[in-house]
Chain A
């Protein structure tokens, strides 16, 4: 994962609540075995509608998505994060998020900015008045700012996620350094091995 420190960009107001990951990337796109190219599928069922906000020229090139409460609920598909990032989004600002989506975002470097609903609404209002407004999301300081309006808020992020974003750390490398602890744990584990249950062809050894 690439380190993420300060993001500067314009924002686009989605203004919908309960945007589940099926809306972010419909299942038809999940058949692919690649990790790239999902941007074309982002919100695909809505993008045919010329009035959909992502189709408005004044928001083209925006890198920050302003969304309603419970963004990214539902399916665990990380493809939702890949689609948002492939499209060009670097941060999502919303009042609340699906737990798995939030987790998946942290693995890819998509910054999750949780603000209270009235703050998100205020930002949406500001952007609709002036889509060219520059936003600054600072992961080091855990702040989101609209300098031109003198608008600034702090947002919460657990210390480890913040550090991983700032350093661009990959979780797997960190955990692999704990292999000795894992091996000691395994000596005491009672988890049954599947080797005794299935043969090489996957047939059960017991009826």
Chain B
């Protein structure tokens, strides 16, 4: 008999009941809640006179539609304001800890879980948000759910689930300079396509994944869903343990070592069998940029805009043609010649302290190109405070970047930070769907260093061009 994958280990430890012919009832260790996908779930509880089974395993934050203006600015959109108020009221009524706008622990739900140490190895974690896969970087099984399931978890602390297949995504070798975690995951999504991971849990493995910081691993796991996979995982190692040490949510002192010993078991066995495997060589990876309207439409930054003639079938030909029209791009155009109007550095993909340090190192001593608006939106209040303690805010503002309050912001345009129709944006976020950052807006996904270099050059660029 072969060994177990990390996914199988976590799954087996969370089975409440597995009735014949029915989905397994899986226990949920941590339920993260935000303002957008929860109000209808709380209404459902009230309608049926139900309680939250484990408010002590439930944590809420305001992130999707909080403005990133200074805290003294009121929420101007009455519909957003109502939704933010509803989160506070619902959490108060049902006894759930909540971090409203301005709270010291507030931030993007997938940034605060790990940084507070409440995301821990071996846990099952859900949230009404598809980027919940981010938490898999700590060796936890984390996936996004819809509002009906949010209500289900609130009421029962469980979810009926079908077991997924497993895919080993091996990234061997060493990343070249200037190539980051974001480029790894863009390459993976480009390889798998938007549906290639459907039905699978991805486990990222190999030398290049092991060499990533925990924050880099979060960037990779974050975009698992862009390949169609609900969850991504990275096995626990000393990077995981050291990341968690001393965080508020983990045991302190000797108790931490006991917890760490247990966490170290959250790895796939050497003889574990995966249902599928793909292999990438890190040494061959380069900085990437998406050119189209889904995250798998990606090319090397040194490359050119593709042509419908490159398509393998009619479906792809139509999809490329439609994307080119929406993005207002001509086949054969070098990406480095494409100019941008806006640069967004932020989102649950790339708004953590290491992302901001990397972007600031590029921005330092340079200035945002004339006519370009560049926003930096830290992922959380704690990230913002840390960045300010290191003087990163000064570097950004002196270079002409806007330094803003934490939230999801321009990743999905639910707050006032949106693109105008026709504007082109280099964004460190995760989705380049039509209208994602504002109706008619054109999004190109890039890494934080490419975003910073692009802001300065006014067109897609890499850092060596800034400091040439």
Tell me if B315 and A68 are in contact (CB < 8 A).
yes
Q: Which residues of B contact A100 (CB under 8 A)?
A: 130, 144-146, 225, 230
Q: Which residues of A contact B157 (CB under 8 A)?
A: 182, 186
The one of B27, B29, B37, B226 that contacts A182, using a Cβ cutoff of 8 Å: B27
Per-residue B-contact encoding for A76-93, CB less than 8 Å = 1, 0 else: 111101000000000000
A149 in contact (CB, < 8 A): no
Tell me if B414 and A175 are in contact (CB < 8 A).
no
Query: How distant is the Cα of A159 from the Cα of B161 in the complex, in angstroms?
Result: 13
A57 in contact (CB, < 8 A): no
B103 in contact (CB, < 8 A): yes
B118 in contact (CB, < 8 A): yes
Tell me if A31 and B434 are in contact (CB < 8 A).
no
Tell me if B148 and A176 are in contact (CB < 8 A).
no
A70 in contact (CB, < 8 A): yes
B467 in contact (CB, < 8 A): no
Main SS class of interface, B = loop
Query: How distant is the Cα of A31 from the Cα of B85 in the complex, in angstroms?
Result: 12
Given the known inter-chain contacts A26-B439, A158-B162, please indicate yes or no for A31 contacting B152, CB distance below 8 A: no
Tell me if A181 and B17 are in contact (CB < 8 A).
yes
Give A169-199 interface residues, CB cut-off 8 Å to B.
171-172, 174-176, 178-179, 181-182, 185-186, 189-195, 197-198
Tell me if B156 and A69 are in contact (CB < 8 A).
no
Tell me if B322 and A16 are in contact (CB < 8 A).
yes
Tell me if A78 and B146 are in contact (CB < 8 A).
yes
Tell me if B146 and A77 are in contact (CB < 8 A).
yes
Give A28-59 interface residues, CB cut-off 8 Å to B.
28, 30-35, 45
Query: How distant is the Cα of A159 from the Cα of B151 in the complex, in angstroms?
Result: 23
Query: How distant is the Cα of A18 from the Cα of B182 in the complex, in angstroms?
Result: 22
Query: How distant is the Cα of A204 from the Cα of B97 in the complex, in angstroms?
Result: 11
Tell me if A30 and B414 are in contact (CB < 8 A).
yes
Tell me if A103 and B156 are in contact (CB < 8 A).
no
Supplied contacts A74-B130, A75-B412, A78-B147, 14 more A-B pairs, CB within 8 Å: A33-B83, A79-B147, A158-B162, A172-B50, A172-B155, A175-B158, A178-B17, A178-B156, A181-B17, A186-B157, A189-B27, A191-B123, A206-B252, A207-B248
Query: How distant is the Cα of A181 from the Cα of B24 in the complex, in angstroms?
Result: 12
The one of B39, B83, B249, B414 that contacts A197, using a Cβ cutoff of 8 Å: B249
Query: How distant is the Cα of A65 from the Cα of B195 in the complex, in angstroms?
Result: 20
| B39, B99, B144, B147: most-surrounded residue (chain A CB, <10 A) | B147
Given the known inter-chain contacts A17-B315, A172-B155, A178-B17, please indicate yes or no for A31 contacting B435, CB distance below 8 A: no
Q: Which residues of B contact A192 (CB under 8 A)?
A: 118, 120, 249, 251
Tell me if B146 and A104 are in contact (CB < 8 A).
yes
Query: How distant is the Cα of A32 from the Cα of B50 in the complex, in angstroms?
Result: 23
Q: How many B residues touch the partner, as a band?
A: 35 or more
Identify which of B1-9, B74-82, B339-347, B354-362 touches chain A: B74-82
Give B261-320 interface residues, CB cut-off 8 Å to A.
262, 293-294, 315, 318-319
Query: How distant is the Cα of A69 from the Cα of B434 in the complex, in angstroms?
Result: 17
By beta carbon, the residue of chain A nearest B53 is A182
Tell me if B146 and A103 are in contact (CB < 8 A).
yes
B397 in contact (CB, < 8 A): no
Query: How distant is the Cα of A146 from the Cα of B102 in the complex, in angstroms?
Result: 57
By beta carbon, the residue of chain B nearest A75 is B130
Q: Which residues of A contact B65 (CB under 8 A)?
A: 31
Query: How distant is the Cα of A31 from the Cα of B64 in the complex, in angstroms?
Result: 9
A5 in contact (CB, < 8 A): no
Per-residue A-contact encoding for B426-455, CB less than 8 Å = 1, 0 else: 000001011110011000000000000000
How many chain A residues have a CB neighbour from B under 8 Å?
65
Q: Which residues of B contact A189 (CB under 8 A)?
A: 27, 29
Tell me if A34 and B37 are in contact (CB < 8 A).
no
Given the known inter-chain contacts A185-B16, A195-B56, please indicate yes or no for A73 contacting B194, CB distance below 8 A: yes
Tell me if B43 and A181 are in contact (CB < 8 A).
no
Q: Which residues of A contact B248 (CB under 8 A)?
A: 197, 204-207
Given the known inter-chain contacts A78-B147, A108-B148, please indicate yes or no for A171 contacting B160, CB distance below 8 A: yes
| B64, B315, B440: most-surrounded residue (chain A CB, <10 A) | B315
B334 in contact (CB, < 8 A): no
Q: Which residues of B contact A76 (CB under 8 A)?
A: 37, 128-130, 144-146
Tell me if A77 and B249 are in contact (CB < 8 A).
no
B419 in contact (CB, < 8 A): no
Per-residue A-contact encoding for B64-76, CB less than 8 Å = 1, 0 else: 1100000000000
Tell me if A160 and B152 are in contact (CB < 8 A).
no
Give B33-49 interface residues, CB cut-off 8 Å to A.
36-37, 39-40, 43, 48
The one of B43, B120, B144, B198 that contacts A35, using a Cβ cutoff of 8 Å: B43
The one of B104, B117, B228, B435 that contacts A99, using a Cβ cutoff of 8 Å: B228
By beta carbon, the residue of chain B nearest A97 is B198
Tell me if B103 and A202 are in contact (CB < 8 A).
yes
By beta carbon, the residue of chain B nearest A105 is B146
Given the known inter-chain contacts A35-B43, A96-B195, A194-B97, please indicate yes or no for A78 contacting B435, CB distance below 8 A: no
Query: How distant is the Cα of A16 from the Cα of B439 in the complex, in angstroms?
Result: 19
Tell me if B436 and A22 are in contact (CB < 8 A).
yes
Q: Which residues of B contact A74 (CB under 8 A)?
A: 130, 225-226, 431, 433
Contacts A/B (CB < 8 Å), 21 sampled: A17-B319, A18-B319, A23-B433, A30-B414, A31-B80, A33-B40, A34-B40, A70-B195, A74-B130, A74-B226, A74-B433, A75-B431, A78-B147, A78-B148, A104-B146, A171-B160, A172-B50, A178-B25, A189-B29, A197-B116, A204-B249
